[in-house]
Structure 1
């Protein structure tokens, strides 16, 4: 039998570009693959999967390098990197775009803006579209246009076939409906290697943005005002609030409104009347400027990080707010933070079992953030994140699969809620041999062959 050859741009440890090729956004827990293949087209992806199966070599799939737990890297194995597959084709007649799965959010936004279009997605420009969309996808247009996966029409995906093979299939609401359902929030890398997405587009031109800052003394009042206001305000307004460590002395609320600055000013009154806000900015801008406004340059740079998260189903009582405040007052450094984004709106108009993304009835997505510079600081920062998550767990529910955390024990239920069994059924159908496996991948049901 003729053996498959790897094709694409191949990088090995002896190549000068290897050190850069193995760097992910999270520098913590670095791994050292034997080979990285940067696929240029679908044929390269098919060959890479066949090659890995024939060689019985462990492999991982990578796109934007933002896997929080570095699940997209593997020691002594193969990394199938699709980041150089980033072509975007726009069809204005059907108001759709076919986007190769290696495209970054920054490139997607810029290319679609040339046509006066967009899709709802995240805020960091270097994040890969694939991982974000497959896990759900939240961002500054979620409340008005829904999650990224809610705007997905079709995927092309390379799946394992037979004992050593690979094949490309399409999944949508007509073909392989169960697989398409699973790709709408079931997490990246569980069922195969997505090579392209087709999305419905939304026309966009001018939007309005805001930013309001409070000092530490306004912590309780500012957060409480935001959490009651943000999920209930005009559906065209999606916002976030970042509660930073006491040393940073900043509570920052920001958001994007598909409407005029004058109307946004009126909508913001509950926040503007709370405490002593400073650095108030409210302005109308071309949409692409709003994209740049929310893009965090520091979030795009590799660093030692630990993140985790949860969802909030009802506003925090005062006791929970004080617990957040306590942890941030005793944070490892000024880069520690607890971040929140408002949901509801279009996100909540989809039933929990209509897509694999289960948490439709929540009001807020909440993320815990830590970053450090020196190796000896790792333990303290990771412990802080774990303590925050456990302390707030009595007030929260689940976790977002795009914020994976290896310390969550019942992670399957945390990520997928009551959709777990259906996802495992899909896994059993499309990947019965568990070819696509990593520390928190969806397991198939055991099956006799």
Structure 2
């Protein structure tokens, strides 16, 4: 029987572009794969998976390179990269778009904007649409339109079949519906290699933006006012808040509203009247300018990073707010922040078991972020994130699977809550041999000890 060969754009350690090809967004804990195949079409993905299975070669799947724990890389082994597969086909009459798995959010937003439509997605332009969607997908249109996966209609993916076989299938609410359910929040890389996604589209035109900044002395009152307002305000308004270090001394709330600046100004009254803001502005812009405004360039650049997160289901008491402040007083560097985004709205209108994304009733998603310049600064930065997560754990729930953290001991419950058992059943049906695996992948039932 003829052995399959790798096809597509192949990069190995001997190639001049290997360093660029292997580098992910997080430079911490670097990995050195033996071969990286940049797939150009589904046939290349099929061949890569067949090749890995025939040669008993460990592999990982990669798209946007934003896996915080670098689950999309490995030492030795094969990386199956779909980022060269990035075509976008839009059907304005049906209000749908078929997007290849390698497209990043920047390209998606620009292509859809030309037709006056969008999908609710994340803010960093280099993040891949596929990883974002499979984990749920939160962003600045989450409250009016839901998670990214809530606009998903169908996926096409390459799955393992038998001992060495490979097949291409589709999953939607009618066909392979359990797999489709699992792919709406069950995380990337668990069941197969997604090659294309079809979304329902949302019309979008002008939106209104706001930004309010407070000084350090307003830390407690500014955060408390924001948390009591942001998850409950008009569902057309999604907002975030970033708590910076004492040295920087800023608390910044920003948001995006599908409506006029005059309406937004009225909605913002509780924040505008809180403390002594150092800066307030509100403006109406074409939607694509809002996309550009929230796209933080530093988040798209490779750096030494550590991130973790959690959900807030009950508003923080004063003690939790003070804990955040204390940690930001003792931050390891100026790049350290606590970031939070309001949820609720359309997200909470779907039951926790209707999709694999479990935390439908969460009020806020939060992320603990740090990045550093020198490799010898790794330990204090990682400790800061881990200690903060533990200190806030009495007031928080779980973690968002797109903010993975290897230091979380009970990660299955943290990411998936009560949906974990069903996810394992789907895994057992579609990948019983556990072909698709990484340090925090969902195991089939008979493999779990």
For structure 2, list consecutive stretches of 5 or more residues without a partner in the other structure. none
The separation in 2 between residues aligned to 1:234 and 1:170, in whole angstroms, is 37
* C-alpha displacement of 1:252: 0.5
Q: Which residue of 2 aligns with 1:268?
A: 268
Show the 5 A alignment for 1:72-111. Answer: 72-111=72-111
Quote how far apart the aligned CAs of 1:10 are. Answer: 0.1
Matches within 5 A, 1:155-166: 155-166=155-166
Alignment correspondent of 2:59: 59
Q: Which residue of 1 aligns with 2:380?
A: 380
Distance 1:73 1:165 in 2: 23
Q: Compute the displacement of 1:281 (Å).
A: 1.6
Match of 2:48 in 1: 48
- The 3-state SS of whatever aligns with 2:360 is coil
Q: How far has the Cα of 1:314 moved from its partner?
A: 1.1
How far the C-alpha of 1:165 sits from its partner, in A, is 1.4
> Could you say which residue in structure 2 is the equivalent of 1:243?
243
Displacement of 1:93 in angstroms is: 1.5
C-alpha displacement of 1:153: 0.2
List aligned pairs for 1:231-380, cutoff 5 A. Answer: 231-380=231-380
Following TM superposition, by how much is the alpha carbon of 1:279 offset from its aligned partner in structure 2, in angstroms?
A: 2.3
Match of 1:35 in 2: 35
Q: Secondary structure at the match of 1:446?
A: helix
Which consecutive aligned stretches of 4+ in structure 1 deviate over 3 angstroms post-superposition? none
CA distance in 2, matches of 1:277, 1:84: 45
**What CA distance in whole angstroms lies between the structure 1 residues aligned with 2:248 and 2:135?**
31
Residues 369-448 of structure 1 aligned to structure 2 (within 5 Å)? 369-446=369-446
Q: Supply the distance in 1 between the matched residues of 2:373 and 2:60 (Cα, whole angstroms).
A: 27
Aligned counterparts of 2:250 and 2:278: Cα–Cα separation in 1: 10
TM-score (norm 1): 0.99
Instruction: Tell me, yes or no, if structure 1 residue 182 matches structure 2 residue 182.
Output: yes
Distance in 2 (alpha carbons) for counterparts of 1:277 and 1:315: 22
In the TM superposition, 1:148-159 aligns within 5 A as 148-159=148-159
Name the SS for the 1:433 alignment partner.
coil
SS at match of 1:64: coil
Q: Distance in 2 between matches of 1:171 and 1:229?
A: 38
Distance in 2 of aligned mates of 1:250 and 1:43? 50
Tell whether 2:222 aligns with 1:222.
yes
Q: Is the 8 A contact 1:247 1:333 kept in 2?
A: no
Give the distance between the partners of 1:80 and 1:33, measured in 2 at CA: 10
Aligned 8 A contact 1:309 1:403 in 2 = yes
Q: Distance in 2 between the 1:39 and 1:247 partners?
A: 46
Q: What corresponds to 2:209 in structure 1?
A: 209
1:248: Cα distance to partner? 1.3
**Cα distance in 1 between the residues matched to 2:118 and 2:92:** 12
Instruction: Answer yes or no: is the 8 Å Cα contact 1:152–1:199 preserved in 2.
Output: yes
Cα distance in 1 between the residues matched to 2:399 and 2:292: 27
Alpha-carbon contact 1:400-1:415 (below 8 Å) kept: yes
In 2, the alpha carbon distance for the partners of 1:171 and 1:77 equals: 28
* TM-score, structure 2 normalization: 0.99
Q: Deviations over 1:277-305 (max 9, x none)?
A: 12212000000000000000000000000
Do residues 171 (structure 1) and 180 (structure 2) align? no
Q: CA deviation at 1:205?
A: 0.6
